[in-house]
């Protein structure tokens, strides 16, 4: 996958407000960051993401995988010479996996209601009946 496969580089971007917030958090309060510098940084980030994801995609394809896994991204970083990021990336990936495991499963509205399917169906039919009756009372406009 290369840049040429995308419709146009203008289609790919990062939210300016988010990037600006990151920049503001990093910079000391007495420094300013020009908008054109922010836009250039965004372009560089998009290019970096495209490069890494393209390499990770090629690695996954060579392994006949349909999903790019974090291991593919790590290998892409190594293959492209970004070894200094690998330890930090693996640490973040491990933390993310642990967070996902410990995260409480969210209940659906059905599960939260505590009602059986039959009771919910009965309530739905009752609501439809009430709506039908209200509609019929109002009559059809002429």
**Tens-digit pLDDT profile for residues 44-78:** 999 999 999 999 999 999 999 999 999 999 999 99
Helix (H) or strand (E) holding 33: none
> Per residue, what are the HEC states of 53-64?
HHHHHHHHHHCC
Average pLDDT, the chain: 86
pLDDT in tens, 76-123: 999 999 999 999 999 998 998 888 877 766 667 777 778 888 888 899
Sequence-separated (6 or more) residues with CB below 8 Å from residue 12: 6, 46, 50
Nearest CA among 51, 52, 39 for reference residue 13: 39
Sequence-separated (6 or more) residues with CB below 8 Å from residue 114: none
pTM score, two decimals?
Answer: 0.62
């Amino acid at each position: 996958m290369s840049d040429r496969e995308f419709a146009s580089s203008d289609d790919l971007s990062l939210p300016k407000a988010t990037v600006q917030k990151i920049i503001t958090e990093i910079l000391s309060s007495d420094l300013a960051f020009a908008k054109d510098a922010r836009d250039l940084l965004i372009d560089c980030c998009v290019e970096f993401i495209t490069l890494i994801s393209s390499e990770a995609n090629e690695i996954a394809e060579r392994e006949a995988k349909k999903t790019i896994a974090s291991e593919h991204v790590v290998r892409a970083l190594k293959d492209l010479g970004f070894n200094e990021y690998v330890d930090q990336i693996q640490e973040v990936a491990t933390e993310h996996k642990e967070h996902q495991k410990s995260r409480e499963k969210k209940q659906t509205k059905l599960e939260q209601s505590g009602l059986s399917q039959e009771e919910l169906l009965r309530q739905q039919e009752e609501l439809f009946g009430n709506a039908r009756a209200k509609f019929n009372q109002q009559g059809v406009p002429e």
